[in-house]
Homo-oligomer: A and B are copies of this chain.
Amino acid sequence: MQFATNGYERTTIRAVAADARIDAAMVMRYFTNKETLFKACIRQDPLLPDLSGVPTDELGLTIARTIVLRWSDPAAVGLLWATTTNQETANDIHTNYRDQIAQLAARIGPPEQALERAALVGSQIAGLAFARVVLKLQPLADMQLAALAARIAPVLQHYLTGDLGLTGDLGSMIRR
């Protein structure tokens, strides 16, 4: 997929057409313009599987495993990344992901904290995908999936169920 590897700007309709062994005019006939073509490429599937059976204290690890597995595919991350060039589509996609996590967070804790917890979870996931797949930053890029999941699992768990330190001081987590 051209959009995934090159981003929106550097992807040309001619290149997409050539990939599909088709004329560029055909692409235009079916998608009318570049933006529509792009939006058609990034239709999103659900981020998380059904987690209702998972014990609360294993959510972090379960999510970590799912996410690390899915977002080790450069095509998936690249596509997600390409949304950055279009503020509108970026907002759609990422608030959707955030809300999926927020729904989960609302079930296991105070609903008024759900959005914030979800956004924090999302920030760690996005940062990891970015560093690992886009930047190929070592040693993250070469780590095994299981090890990687184990590293971020406690953090996701903390964001979901831990003490956020609402008073602004260090919070209980550090002092322990």
Contacts and interface: CB of A to CB of B under 8 A. Distances in A.
A interface, how many residues as a size bin? 35 or more
A147 B168 contact: yes
A164 interface: yes
A120 B123 CA distance: 12
A2 interface: no
A81 B127 CA distance: 12
Contacts of A131: 94, 119, 122-123, 126
Interface in A70-114: 81, 84-85, 90-91, 94-95, 98
A158 B165 contact: no
A61 interface: yes
Contact of A57 (B152, B157, B169, B174): B174
Contact of A123 (B90, B140, B174): B140
Contacts of A138: 95, 115, 119
A8 B11 CA distance: 14
A124 interface: yes
